[in-house]
Amino acid sequence: MSAPKVGPWTEVPRQDGRRFVVTGANSGIGFETAKALAKRGAHVVLAVRNAAKGEAAARRIRGEVEVRPLDVADLSSVRAFAADIGDVDVLVNNAGVLGVPFGLSPDGVELHLATNHLGHFALANLLLPRLRDRVVVVSSQSHRSGVLELDDLGWERRGYAPYAAYAQSKLANMLFLAELQRRLTAAGSTLRVTGGHPGSTATAITANTGSGLMTWVGSWGHGLVGMPAWKGALPTLYAATMDVPGNTYVGPHRLREMNGWPVCVGRSRSATDPDLARALWSASETLSGVTFPLA
């Protein structure tokens, strides 16, 4: 199996005959991921919360795409999507929110955890029997500052802090990546789980934080020093299309993984804690009502 080396990797291998689901594909990293995959012959499902925005995005993509409604923060939407999607080669769990004011999902889960982790946890497990290749988890360098409080996932005991809630959800992504791969391997499955993060990339994810200052800093800061979205999508594309082992995590190669070309990168100590990963998995099953289907 190949591993990413420092260098200008931009050539996604041909993906003819392969079907991808990309969540949050109407803008940013998700859009660029879908666009690149379709260009290389894949059939891409744009799984989006806003159908009109999804259709507008689809019109900007050359290749075979379809738009399907999916709100990953709403478990009923996740179940409806999974029941109707059919066979899929690769699921790219990309949709996310960043730094939003405190709020609860339709299922009563804090919005960062519901959107960035729990909905994707449920979606991946529901699709596993129909997946042919892999699950790709899009995380963030923010996972390194994440603290997972299993007895206070809803921020009822702690004072709510939007960016700490985001970091917690990104740590949850990393723990999910490792634990799902462990379970697949133990079950004798050839499916794999890979991950990637975009470093500092100029996208619209900071546009709805609820804080004018942080929105301005995020938008202008990423615009000045961050990568364009097409380049920020490269670690995700590498994780989704190259022959890398399960539990591989890919990010930019320079400036503290903020910029550069795709390489294998490390993760925090908490992100490799197997006991924490198992505990989060158990909590996620309880919150979502979805269990690992290959046990």
Q: Which residues pair with 90 in a beta bridge?
A: 20, 134
**Is-catalytic flag, 238?**
no
Task: Measure the CA–CA gap between 137 and 120, rounded to whole angstroms.
Answer: 9
Residue in 167, 148, 96, 92 with CA at minimum distance from that of residue 123? 92
Instruction: Return the structure tokens found at 92.
Output: 């790219």
What is the Cα–Cα distance from 168 to 221, expressed in whole angstroms?
Answer: 22
Closest CA to 255 of 47, 11, 6: 6
The identity of residue 122, as a single letter, is: A
Backbone angles phi, psi at 13, to 5 degrees: -60, 160
Q: Which of 163, 166, 238, 249 is catalytic?
A: 166
Nearest alpha-carbon partner for 164 in 92, 172, 286:
172
Name the residues annotated as catalytic.
166
